[in-house]
Amino acid sequence: MAFDLDMIKKVYDRFSSRIDAARQATGKPLTLTEKILYSHLTEGDAKAAYHRGVDYVDFAPDRVAMQDATAQMALLQFMQAGRPQVAVPSTVHCDHLIQAKIGAVEDLNTAKDINSEVYDFLASVSDKYGLGFWKPGAGIIHQVVLENYAFPGGMMIGTDSHTPNAGGLGMIAIGVGGADACDVMAGLPWELKFPKLIGVHLTGKLSGWASAKDVILKVAGILTVKGGTGAIVEYFGEGARSLSATGKGTICNMGAEIGATTSIFGYDEKMAAYLRGTQREDIAALADGVAAHLTGDEEVYASPEQYFDQVIEINLSELEPHVNGPFTPDLAWPISKFATAVRENNWPTALEVGLIGSCTNSSYEDITRAASIAKQATDKGLKTKAEYTVTPGSELVRYTVERDGYLNTFEAIGGVVLANACGPCIGQWSRHTDDPTRKNSIITSFNRNFAKRQDGNPNTHAFVASPEIVTAFAIAGDLTFNPLTDTLTNEAGEQVMLDEPLGIELPVKGFAVEDAGYQAPAEDGSHVEVLVSPTSSRLQLLDPFAAWEGTDIKCLRLLIKAKGKCTTDHISMAGPWLKFRGHLDNISNNMLIGAINYFNNTADSVKNELTGEYGPVPATQRDYKANGIGTIVVGDENYGEGSSREHAAMEPRHLGVRAILVKSFARIHETNLKKQGMLGITFDNVADYDKVQEDDKIDIVGLTEFAPGKQLTVVLHHADGTEDSFPVNHTYNAQQIEWFKAGGALNIIRRQQGA
């Protein structure tokens, strides 16, 4: 941590001059977001104002964090970059590969057993290259980062889309692909399109059942899953200052659900209290010393419309608890309207499982609020009707809430405490069900609820709410129950109501832990050996992708024209596939198997033009590759939304797809495609999507003059001999065009390192 303190001092030391330079360059007062971004420019003091949503800017983040599923590929890539040590403080967190089945202890032991090869690889590669390693069971990346590494005014990247969780402590924290993490660990600048700014003005104060989770559930309803794309969301106002640091973390975490680049709150007394509560008094003291730089300028918040691209007002005093879903996190229902929505839409009213915790909602405050509801079930003679699980976010939280008796409270109502890991949130859930074909409902305090996300079952209707609302629903077992107004019948046949939840922000006796699960790296890692077996099915050393051939790309076959939502889960499904995250060829067998083929409305069934037969997408693509035929994937709006996994970009690249042509891209995925040397292009006129036919042969023209802002042309040669031709757009800058030409960014890094 001493190392961190030195790094934080350096960041704070340069604040004054850099922020002054930024004020001069922009000629205006600054938002907090701008202060942090301009203080982290690779070039030093700002020379000119950047255009939001237009200019690509090089940044120097202070820190990198990786979870075990994404770290494998990031570190396999880093190993190829030829450096002896990581250039900035970096950590690995083993949280994604633990399957929830029986309970914490058994599930953790099973995970250690079946993932030993991967854990050993990650532990040894961390040891060698100077990364902190958080063992399986230590906790979920974002909670561990909030407890140990996040600091006000800092900037970090993380190989997980919920990295913005650290915004709860005033850090610009952005979810990226492993290739970006590799760049920063290799000491190279990290590039980001200068974001637009959305201001959320919070007034009033939460009360009763309403919680921080409801703020973001409401914001998701307002902005939708696309509304934050390319933007950083900055929360401010007296309402913001009234929220706990962990509550702020929940809000920032779920900013990923509106597509936001990240979200942030300004430094305040709640953050200082959390820093002190997690043994970081020294960081709080440093932050107090530069407090004026850790919030937006007064003029900005006095007339936010002038300085933000969009402003949203929310009065916390009037905020109702929300339940969002099913199938998308932006379908927002105030609790007073939810029961009617359930009935009108014929969603299954019987609730089968309630799940609390996860990286989104497992703070001490969350656990105590949920436990205050669970306790009432026992006290008032109520039996829990649905199954109920609790996922602590870290060993620090788990140990502390166990010490304080809260785990007993959950167990008393039949709650099953799962390992400190992602588990059901990422589909690592061996769910017990008697009939998987039955339409069924679950409710979670997690962040994401796309079809199949939690249990792989398309019949599961997943809803998202706060932990206390989830707990109340689990007790009622009925989605038409409104805990604010409805009674329940207890075992004595009496009508009882649940009282409002009560929470405790920080443990009165302080946090405690016996073994947090941390392994520090070797002082000198040069002697440490990293072993990857050539016969491993889980890990595979990488070969560089081939460079561009220097000509237009002609005669591509259409692999799939994806219809509707095509998230990174559709492109590279999680769940059982997670175990192949470090093995590119094996994981490529899940490529696009969740995408719906426009021509037959079916998933994982595309026409193979070589045989005329319909078959699975990966097998069809492998056939084209074996025959030396390039292909193209066509997609709809916001293609690649969801997670940051670069596998969704690497798999098509590995299997020989040459271009992805869509109506629009989600930001992280578009960047990942560029890093891998893939051509990602968008229809200039979205109606041209309709012109693409199943049997087309497709040319991409203009690549020999590939330049920033210059359109390319797509030519469709239809089977009946006719042709269509139309312009397509791209967002490649000069450097990214070099990546494309070299066959990927890593090929350029290696060259620069002389490896």
Contact between 148 and ligand F3S by CB under 6 A: the answer reads no
- Answer yes or no whether residue 122 interacts with ligand F3S by CB under 6 A: no
Please tell me whether residue 260 binds ligand F3S under the rule CB under 6 A.
no
Binding of residue 358 to ligand F3S (CB under 6 A)? yes
CB of 446 to ligand F3S, least distance (A): 6
Report strand pairing: 63-67 vs 155-158: parallel
Residue 352 contacts residue 442 (beta carbons within 8 Å): yes
What is the distance, to the nearest Å, from the Cα of residue 496 to the centroid of all Cα atoms in its chain?
40
Cβ–Cβ under 8 Å, residues 379 and 498: no
Closest to ligand F3S by CB, 141 vs 206, is 141
CB of 423 to ligand F3S, least distance (A): 8
Nearer to ligand F3S, 264 or 422 (CB): 422
- Closest CB to ligand F3S among residues 160, 670: 160
Q: Does 464 bind ligand F3S (CB under 6 A)?
A: no
CA atoms of 303 and 325, how far apart (whole Å): 34
Interface residue with ligand F3S, options 41, 71, 141, 596 (CB under 6 A): 141
Residue number with CB closer to ligand F3S (69 or 681):
69
CB nearer to ligand F3S: give 165 or 631: 165
Q: How far is the CB of 160 from ligand F3S (least distance, A)?
A: 5
Q: Of 328, 365, 390, which Cα lies nearest the Cα of 248?
A: 365
162 touches ligand F3S by CB under 6 A: yes
Which candidate in 161, 588, 643, 644 is catalytic? 643
Closer to ligand F3S by Cβ: residue 162 or 674:
162
DSSP class of 546: P
Smallest gap, in angstroms, from Cβ of residue 162 to ligand F3S?
5
Choice between 65 and 294, CB closer to ligand F3S: 65
645 included as an active-site residue? yes
- Identify which of residues 358 and 572 has a Cβ nearer to ligand F3S in the complex: 358
> Which of 217, 210, 255 shows the shortest CA–CA distance to 235?
255
DSSP 101: S
State the DSSP string of 664-687: -B-HHHHHHHHHTT-EEEEESSGG
Read off φ and ψ for residue 645, nearest 5 degrees: -60, 125
**Residue 220 interacts with ligand F3S (CB under 6 A)?**
no
Stretch that binds ligand F3S, among 79-87, 139-147, 522-530, 673-681 (CB under 6 A): 139-147
> Residue 51: how many CB atoms within 10 A of its CB?
11
Residue 578 contacts ligand F3S per CB under 6 A: no
Asked whether 221 and 335 are in contact (CB, 8 A), the reply is no
| Whether 443 contacts 465, CB under 8 Å | yes
Choose, by CB under 6 A, the member of 57, 108, 359, 678 that binds ligand F3S.
Answer: 359
447 lies in the site for ligand F3S, by CB under 6 A: yes
Give me 155's structure tokens. 């900037």
Decide if residue 100 touches ligand F3S (CB under 6 A). no
Candidate list 11, 19, 75, 140; residue touching ligand F3S; CB under 6 A: 140
Q: Does 646 bind ligand F3S (CB under 6 A)?
A: no
**How many residues contact ligand F3S, by CB under 6 A?**
13
Q: Which of 443/746 has CB closer to ligand F3S?
A: 443
Structure tokens at 551: 């000509």
Residue 61's nearest CA partner among 86, 95, 24 is 86
3-state secondary structure 592-647: CCCCEECCCCEECCEECCCCCCEECHHHHHHHHHHCCCCEEEEECCCECCCCCCCH
- The residue within the footprint of ligand F3S, chosen from 219, 426, 712, 748 (CB under 6 A), is 426
Instruction: Single out the segment in contact with ligand F3S by CB under 6 A; choices: 22-30, 136-144, 526-534, 584-592.
Output: 136-144
Please tell me which residue in 63, 280, 448, 658 is annotated as part of the active site. 448
User: Tell me, what amino acid is at 611?
Assistant: T
Residue placing its CB nearer to ligand F3S in the complex, 359 or 657: 359
Evaluate whether 347 touches 377 at the Cβ level (below 8 Å).
Answer: no
452 binds ligand F3S (CB under 6 A): no
Whole-number minimum distance, CB 100 to ligand F3S, in Å? 11
| 422 lines the binding site for ligand F3S (CB under 6 A) | yes
Q: Please name the amino acid found at residue 292.
A: A
Looking at beta carbons only, is 34 or 455 nearer to ligand F3S? 455
Dist CA 658 CA 673 (whole Å): 11
Would you count residue 328 as binding ligand F3S (CB under 6 A)?
no
User: Residue 83 catalytic?
Assistant: no
Shortest Cβ 237–ligand F3S spacing (Å): 27
404/407 Cα distance (integer angstroms): 8
In this complex, which beta carbon is closest to ligand F3S, that of residue 77 or of residue 143?
A: 143
160 binds ligand F3S (CB under 6 A): yes
Ranges of H-type helices in 453-528: 467-476
The strand pairing partners of 712, in sequence order, are 728
Q: In angstroms, how far is CA 667 from the centroid of its own chain?
A: 12
Binding-residue pattern over the window 552 to 571 for ligand F3S, x denoting contact by CB under 6 A: --------------------
Pick the stretch among 36-44, 134-142, 593-601, 649-657 that binds ligand F3S (CB under 6 A).
134-142
Q: Report the C-alpha gap between 148 and 278 in whole angstroms.
A: 7
**Nearest Cα residue to 265 out of 336, 173, 356:** 173
Given 96, 538, 658, 667, which residue is catalytic?
96
DSSP-assigned states of every residue in 354-415:
EEEETTTB-SHHHHHHHHHHHHHHHHTT----SEEEEE-SBHHHHHHHHHTTHHHHHHHTT-
Is 647 an interacting residue with respect to ligand F3S (CB under 6 A)? no
Does the active-site annotation cover 448?
A: yes
Could you please report the per-residue DSSP string of 541-564? ---PPPPP-SS-EEEEEEEEEB-S
| Contact of 653 with 179, CB cutoff 8 Å | no
We find the least distance from the C-beta atom of residue 396 to ligand F3S, in angstroms, to be 16
Instruction: Answer yes or no whether residue 385 interacts with ligand F3S by CB under 6 A.
Output: no
Distance (Å, whole) CA 91 – CA 361: 22
The H-or-E segment that residue 252 falls in is: helix 245-253
Instruction: Identify the active-site residue in 68, 160, 366, 604.
Output: 160
425 in contact with ligand F3S (CB under 6 A): yes
Residue 211 falls in the annotated catalytic set: no
Contact stretch for ligand F3S (CB under 6 A) within 29-37, 258-266, 420-428, 606-614? 420-428
Residues with catalytic roles: 95-96, 160, 448, 643, 645
Contact residues: ligand F3S, CB under 6 A: 95, 140-142, 160, 162, 358-359, 422, 425-426, 446-447
